[in-house]
Amino acid sequence: MHTFLKSCMGTNRKAWLLLLCSAAGLLVSVGAGLCLGANPIGVPVFFDTLIRKNPDDFLYRIIRTVRFPRVFGALLAGSGLAVSGTIIQSVLNNPLASPNIIGVNAGAGFFVLLASALFPAQPGLLPVWAFLGALLASLLILLAGAGRQMSQLLLVLTGFVVNSIFTAGMNTIMILNPDAYVGAGNFLAGGLSSLTGKNIAFPAALILLGLMLAMLCSHGLNLLHLGADCAKTLGMNVLVSRFLYIAIAAVLAGAAVSFAGLIGFVGLLVPHGVKLLIGSDNRFVIPASALMGGMFVILCDLLARTIFLPYELPVGILMSFLGSPFFLYLILKSRGTD
């Protein structure tokens, strides 16, 4: 273990520096998310309020019941979606792929609304249904590209088809059963305004599990990133490995969608930013994406809930404004490589 760590330190000091800076930035963003908002709270007052724990204190109720679940939920959603995007890009060997673009988020969202309509008395199982939907969408993309060389743009177009099918399914459920999901508008836009500790507890466990599994699989993802033929020559069972890694990505994306809704482009923007800074070694890209993804969504959510005070913008809308131009840039850039 000591030899491995020493080797990692020697080969990529820039990556370790980014991890340290990302961890520090995440702590700062958590503090900003907890203290800032429609009712700004000074740091001394914040800690004094937490220490006193007065349930009748208005500030204490805001911190405990509103800001803690919201900031923690943003951290989880950002980390889960960013690492899910990293895995999907490596498995498909396609820099244009991300959970929202190839329909993974839409698949999770469709199954969440379907489960809400069919089993309204079991809201605690929504993360499981979201995982199944995300996994189904991912497998459809894998099957579409199996056994043939698909260009980057063709794979993305296939993802758009899958995304459209599941989006149509969500719209159908909302028309036939408008009461299937309380707060469905916020869910479809991608919002964090109604989170509680209770409805993020189970998804939090799934995301933490998925992040640990992703770290354990980082070496295999590096092999897949080299191409299927190269991975086979190095002894990898490509079919089984792809299914395993896609399942991990589905756990992460599905768990995030189950409570945060259809937040898009985190899994595209963050991995690209990380790889631009430190390269494509998933041993570093995965933890850096987890840290920077959490920080990114916390800060975007803070901006979304303060920029138009007293009104609040769902963070998913802000993400679309940020991510769509970048995705268009990637498409234009890829035309010369296909």
Burial track 293-302 (b if 16+ CB lie within 10 A, e otherwise): bbbbbbbbbb
Domain ranges of the chain: 73-334
pTM, full prediction: 0.91
pLDDT in tens, 78-123: 999 999 999 999 888 888 888 988 889 999 999 999 998 888 878 7
Least confident of 156-165, 219-228, 286-295, 315-324: 219-228
Q: CA-CA distance, 290 to 193, in Å (whole number)?
A: 22
pLDDT at 84: 95
pLDDT at 1: 42
CATH fold, domain 73-334, is ABC transporter involved in vitamin B12 uptake, BtuC (1.10.3470)
pLDDT at 21: 94
Least confident of 75-89, 160-174, 188-202, 268-282: 188-202
pLDDT band for position 147 (cuts 50, 70, 90): low
pLDDT in tens, 160-175: 899 999 999 999 998 8
Q: CA-CA distance, 15 to 279, in Å (whole number)?
A: 8
